[in-house]
């Protein structure tokens, strides 16, 4: 078959009646050119036209809502607002944030994962995630996690083992939250059993846990130094961790995300992180994983 088709040849190629194809050509609805009074149809252009029509007919992935789901962080909440991104935050815990990203219910998952034997649990988890073949992970900050205690540490708690002692009311986080995963990892390393702690009501954010401490309904719990300092609480450091933002590559260039990435490079962002304390934003905005 030649490169350029006549109306008769193109109609046969497309399975249309000649009259129908002629009307479509006259209306500019099909790729063609008129040469010396006759319509010519480039076969390659017809193929692309058909493929484009097929793609348009297939339901594509819906654009996820402009929500950052997963772990809560005061600096992230402030940056999302101050950058003018329009991104909302949904505090559901790191693992739940990744689940919602898989189901296209959030645009970004904020995570700080911990796994026994892993030096970089965020990277290990994202690199092996099923169901998502187009991921990018952006570094937000490194955070110092530790035990939040009442101001002055009146019980004299010196570490995790003391916090596990009888009579200590240990505030825990929801299953799958990064702080709860850190608790399980450190407990295993110290031969402790987190199951022995009364679970009670789980706190959804570090800030919620801090409020409970100030209200004297718990004696300690795990959260960041930034949360401790903002609430005037005592703090015993346990670990530094990566806090990362995971999203699909196809949404990386959306205006909301671009506004946030640009803000991560600003002096205002770095200054606010310094004021909060326990944060390292020297690599903020860098790509840590791309698939």
On whether the CB atoms of residues 89 and 111 are closer than 8 A, the answer is no
Secondary structure of residue 105 in the 3-state scheme: coil
Mean per-residue pLDDT of the chain: 89
How wide is the angle at C-alpha 70 spanned by C-alphas 109 and 282, nearest 5°?
Answer: 65
For the segment 95-131, what is each residue's pLDDT rounded down to a tens digit? Answer: 999 999 999 999 999 999 999 888 899 999 998 887 6
Q: pLDDT value at position 123?
A: 94
Residues in the chain: 291
Confidence of residue 212 (pLDDT cuts 50, 70, 90): very high
Secondary structure of residue 230 in the 3-state scheme: helix
Give the chain's largest Cα–Cα span.
96
On whether the CB atoms of residues 71 and 243 are closer than 8 A, the answer is yes
Q: Residues 151, 157, 158, 162: is their CA dihedral positive or negative?
A: negative
* HSE value, Cβ hemisphere, 13 Å, CA-based, for 125: 26
Choose among 120, 111, 114, 112: nearest CA to 188. 114
**Cα separation, 177 vs 91, whole angstroms:** 10
Element (H, E) at 184: helix 178-189
**Cα separation, 228 vs 271, whole angstroms:** 18
Confidence of residue 232 (pLDDT cuts 50, 70, 90): very high
For the segment 10-68, what is each residue's pLDDT rounded down to a tens digit? Answer: 899 888 888 888 888 877 778 888 888 888 888 888 887 787 665 444 445 578 999 99
Question: Of 55-64, 226-235, 237-246, which gets the smallest average pLDDT?
Answer: 55-64
**Cα separation, 283 vs 209, whole angstroms:** 28
For the segment 242-252, what is each residue's pLDDT rounded down to a tens digit? Answer: 999 999 988 89
Which phi and psi angles does 234 have, rounded to 5°? -75, 160
């Amino acid at each position: 078959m030649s490169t350029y088709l006549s109306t008769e040849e193109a109609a046969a190629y497309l399975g249309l009646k000649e009259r129908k194809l002629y009307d479509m050509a006259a209306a500019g609805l099909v790729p063609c050119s008129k040469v010396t009074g006759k319509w010519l149809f480039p076969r390659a252009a017809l193929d692309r036209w058909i493929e484009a029509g097929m793609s348009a007919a297939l339901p594509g992935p819906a654009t996820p809502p402009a929500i950052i789901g997963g772990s809560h962080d005061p600096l992230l909440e402030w940056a999302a607002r101050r950058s003018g991104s329009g991104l909302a935050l949904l505090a559901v815990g790191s693992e739940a944030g990744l689940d919602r990203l898989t189901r296209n219910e959030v645009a970004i998952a904020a995570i700080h994962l911990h796994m026994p034997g892993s030096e970089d649990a965020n990277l290990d988890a994202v690199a092996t995630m099923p169901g998502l073949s187009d991921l990018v992970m952006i570094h937000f900050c490194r955070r110092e996690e530790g035990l939040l205690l009442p101001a002055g540490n009146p019980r004299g708690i010196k570490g995790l083992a003391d916090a596990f002692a009888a009579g200590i009311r240990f505030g825990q986080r929801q299953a799958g939250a990064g702080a709860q995963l850190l608790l399980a990892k450190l407990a295993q390393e110290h031969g402790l059993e987190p199951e022995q702690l009364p679970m009670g009501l789980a706190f959804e954010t570090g800030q919620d846990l801090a409020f409970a401490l100030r209200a004297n309904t718990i004696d300690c719990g795990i959260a960041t130094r930034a949360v401790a300092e903002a609430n005037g609480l005592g703090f015993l450091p346990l670990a530094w961790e990566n806090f990362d933002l995971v999203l699909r590559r196809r949404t990386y260039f959306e205006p909301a995300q671009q506004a946030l990435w640009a803000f991560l490079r600003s002096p205002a962002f770095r200054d606010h992180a310094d004021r909060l304390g326990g944060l390292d934003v020297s690599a903020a905005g860098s790509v840590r994983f791309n698939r």
